[in-house]
Structure 1
Amino acid sequence: MEEYIVSLNDLKKSYGSKSVLDGVSLHVKKGEIIGYIGPNGAGKSTTIKIMLGIESNYQGEVKLFGQDIAEDSIEYKRKIGYVPEIADLYDNLTGFEYLTFIGELYGLTPQLADYKAKNLMELFGIGEVYHSRIASYSKGMRQKLLIISSLLHNPELLFFDEPINGLDANSVMIFKEIMTQLAAQGKTIFYSSHIMDVVEKISSRIILLNNGKIAADGTIEELKQINQEGSSLEQIFNELTGFNEHQAIGAKFVSIVEEM
């Protein structure tokens, strides 16, 4: 039997009387890039936070690297990298101080953390601010810093939540190539975003969550075959989530804007 990097079995999570995850089961193999998508409130972030050990009090089984995370609450985290949608950075630190601090947390020597951090920032086009305080960084620079910090310790499993927010077009191209190369090296990636065309291009498999349940799971080609009306991931997304009012809402929005 093949061992999965990620294995969720009948995962359920509620906040009071509100059910957020309602029996999610999925199995992910090494080297897959999972486009993990769904409407706001579908349960995507909750799933990821459970796997990261940030959220607890769930029902069901969560295994990462073949180990139940309820039994191995620390060690598996050393193999994970994470870029959250919203992150607080230590503005008073420099890029050098922040990245070497993160590197040492994951067991890198200060020298190796410094070497890797400096070179990765150079490659990402922000080498000139390596010794500048993060408070002076633009949104794009901060996002690049977060991406680098998630990769510094060479993790086996990566979670990216809206990782290209604030990146310019050239940096997006570099980031997409980084993900492709990482997957080719056997890294497993969960990629969550509302930018459907990027998800469609980079993902080897797409999992669509809706109302706490998996509504679709397959390659983009498989999803197109199942949903004949959808020629793009955005159309498939709208069809499966039942949202078809965008044109009417857009027209009404513009009509109000134009009122004098």
Structure 2
Amino acid sequence: MTRQSNDDTSDDPSDDPNGEPAIVANALTKRYGDTIAVDDLTLEVDPGSIYGFLGPNGAGKTTTIRLLTALATPTSGSGTVAGVPISDRKSLVDRIGYLPESPPIAEQLTAREQLEYYGGLCGMSLDEFEGRLDELLERLELAEDADDRIVTYSKGMRQKTGLIQAILSDPDVVFLDEPTSGLDPRAVRTVRELLTGLAANGTTVFLSTHVLPVVERIATDVGICYEGRLVESGAPEELLGRLESGADSTLEDVFLEVTTETE
């Protein structure tokens, strides 16, 4: 797949030595009673890419992430992440990072305590990740507040803490559900640059968000989900080229056109 050329994206994506996709979903389906949350979803994501996963509320985005991170069991279908079957949760958790829309953090701890505790859960010694932790706290402007209790944090500060937690162990694949929620424009820019840097170093980023300009700036590929089905996919420039509205089209135009046609 072709990496998009823009100010925030490296032109040299990392190649997987085995030539295998970083994420594979084969006819993944998840039913809750009579409700189909994910319907026969098939996709592949290249190593070192940023995959923008879009869709309206209730389209199945979060359920898809839960399936790919082994937090939910598919009704049918299969998949692999970083070469590990999603049925093998024990092996998978060592290869991935995950930021849900509401980060799993303990409010009574300080951010530093929370992140050190998480590093220990990942089997990392303090010496292994202390330098990386300090770098990320500084990068996301949390260093001065890292020893304050999370209960005193704003939504944006909690989101930054959750993001650091998701990438602290330098995972092969990171899944992010609305990572810029609650962030101001400066912080959004920092996160955007951080994600492109991760991808340039070989980490695959699976990004679900409603902030379409972020996806348009950094995504190498985009999938649009509607009512549990993947209804459109491709590089952003490819999707824009399929529209009839001309050269001034945006990813928002693609999103609205595709979901309207599908409906």
Decide: shared fold, TM above 0.5.
Answer: yes
Q: How many pairs were matched up?
A: 242
Out of 234, 237, 249, which is 2:255 matched to? 237
2:65 match: 48
Match of 1:181 in 2: 197
Q: Which of 75, 79, 86 is matched with 1:58 structurally?
A: 75
CA distance in 1, matches of 2:117, 2:60: 32
Aligned-residue offset at 1:111:
3.6
> Aligned AA for 2:250?
S
Runs of 4+ in 1 over 6 A off after TM superposition: none
User: Whose relative contact order is higher, 1 or 2, with alpha carbons under 8 Å and at least 6 apart?
Assistant: 2
Partners of 1:20 and 1:123 in 2: CA distance: 37
Counterpart of 2:133 in structure 1: which amino acid? A
List runs of 5+ in structure 1 lacking aligned partners: 244-260
Alpha carbon RMSD of aligned pairs, Å?
1.6
Number of the residue aligned with 1:253: none
Q: Tell me which amino acid in the other structure corresponds to 2:38.
A: L
Tell whether the 8 Å contact from 1:9 to 1:62 is kept in structure 2 after alignment.
yes
Amino acid at match of 2:259: T
Q: Distance in 2 between matches of 1:2 and 1:111?
A: 33
Given candidates 133, 148, 153, the residue that maps to 1:132 is 148
Which residue of structure 1 lines up, in the alignment, with residue 21 of structure 2? Answer: 4
CA contact 1:96–1:114 (8 Å) conserved in 2:
no
TM-score (ref. length: structure 1) = 0.88
User: 2:89 aligns to what SS in structure 1?
Assistant: coil
Report the Cα offset of residue 140 of structure 1: 1.4
- Residue aligning to 1:167: 183
Q: Deviations over 1:191-221 (max 9, x none)?
A: 1111111111110000001111111110111
Verify: 1:147 aligned to 2:178, yes or no. Answer: no
Partner of 1:15: 32
Secondary structure class of the residue paired with 1:74: helix
Q: CA deviation at 1:176?
A: 0.8
* Cα distance in 2 for residues equivalent to 1:212 and 1:122: 39
* Contact persistence 1:29–1:188 (CA under 8 A): yes
- Cα shift readout 1:227-247 (whole Å, capped 9, x = no counterpart): 22371111111111118xxxx
Does the CA contact (< 8 Å) of 1:11 and 1:61 recur in 2?
yes
CA apart distance, 1:88? 4.0
Contact 1:206 1:220 in 2 (8 A): yes
* Partner of residue 92, structure 1: 108
Task: Point out the structure with the larger helix share.
Answer: 1
| Partners of 1:208 and 1:216 within 8 A in 2 | yes
Identical amino acids, percent of aligned pairs: 36
Equivalent position amino acid for 2:157 in 1: M
Output the TM-score relative to the length of structure 2.
0.87
Query: Does the 8 A contact of 1:96 with 1:118 survive in 2?
Result: no
Give the counterpart of 2:47 among 30, 35, 44.
30
